[in-house]
Amino acid sequence: MNTYARQPVAFARGEGVWLWDTDGKRYLDAVAGVAVNTLGHAHPRLAQALCEQARQVIHTSNLYVIPLQEALAERLCGLAGMDRAFFCNSGAEANEAAIKLARLYGHRKGIDLPTILVTEKSFHGRTLATLTATGSRKVQAGFEPLVSGFARVPFNDLEAARQAVEHNANIVAILVEPIQGEGGINLPAPDYLPGLRRLCDERGLLLMLDEVQTGIGRTGAWFAYQHTSVLPDVVTLAKGLGGGVPIGACLARGSAAEVFKPGNHGSTFGGNPLACAAALAVLSTIEEEGLLQNVQQVGTYLRQALAAALDGVAGVVAVRGLGLMMGIELDRPAAEIVDRAREAGLLVNVTSERVIRLVPPLILREAEAQQLIEGLVPVIRSFLGAP
């Protein structure tokens, strides 16, 4: 169907942070399948894990015990500080699970119309429930009637969240991205997540963090909330977890982990042996190759070098981000940058109309980051008409 505005390029192969198109031209991939290709392209450990698992069993469904799924659940819960995991195929499905979990949690507290507090400029997916939770009219337009049961406040506004909770007794949970991705790489103030945690504790609400884009090392920690003292009740993830193999997860702890009973939720493909083998290979590789530290170091280098190179350039509003999740905000719509960068051998993405988003593979090294800077800065300066 006509659902994508595709760019005029097709890729034949990849290696590390590089992709080659069908004509043999090489590109530095700073999109990584929209923060999916954690280990870059054709990583030997991921390829080997997939080949070995495909030779044994690809899929058995959740009618049966899946040892690799149990191993992945234990690994993820250990990394995240959670108790239980539900596996699905995408970030939208992970957020759907969280939304259903919050509603059941509310009903069991005697609340007939449970409501989830969400934020402006957020993105949680494109299913009917998750696009309703999403804070973008562009995503929602034309799909009315939307799903009821959501209230919305500005992102990074603790007082607005507190006011909403005090005036709406039906609110049972707060769903928020620790860093907004699609909304323009927006980082909250340091006290935002701790403030939401305190609010949830005071009111008996669930704090649910959408780590679909920020999770699995993207910011230099396994999860973005681990840069703070906050421990959420529910965490959703997907994108980077399978390194390109579709898999999502909804993790929960404490009373939130006890909400679902058999029959409340499910997935035919979710957490099958092939997807779990991929995810386990991704987690092991991140750990054994020291990629969290690499993300911190290279991310800091890239952000500081870009900020220095673009300092004083008229039209550049800000360079911001954490780890290898970075945004360069311009003062005008910047979709054309994507084409100009591609012609220069760079793959980048523009979100929120005027924010150039960089989410390269976590294996990006400093020399490659320097190549990205040397290629991208002239493109931006040319686009802005800067000397």
Catalytic site residues?
123, 210, 239
Pairing outcome for strands 115-119 and 84-88: unpaired
- Look at residues 241, 215, 213, 212 and name the one whose alpha carbon lies nearest to residue 226: 215
d(CA 56, CA 52): 7
CB 177 within 8 A of CB 121: no
Rounded to 5 degrees, φ, ψ at 210 are -85, 100
Strand-pair partners of 336: none
Q: 384: which residues sit within 8 A by CB, 6+ positions away?
A: 313, 314, 315, 316, 330
Q: Which amino acid is at 249?
A: A
The dihedral sign for the CA sequence 56, 287, 244, 207? positive
Burial of 123 (0-12, 13-18, 19+ CB in 10 A): buried
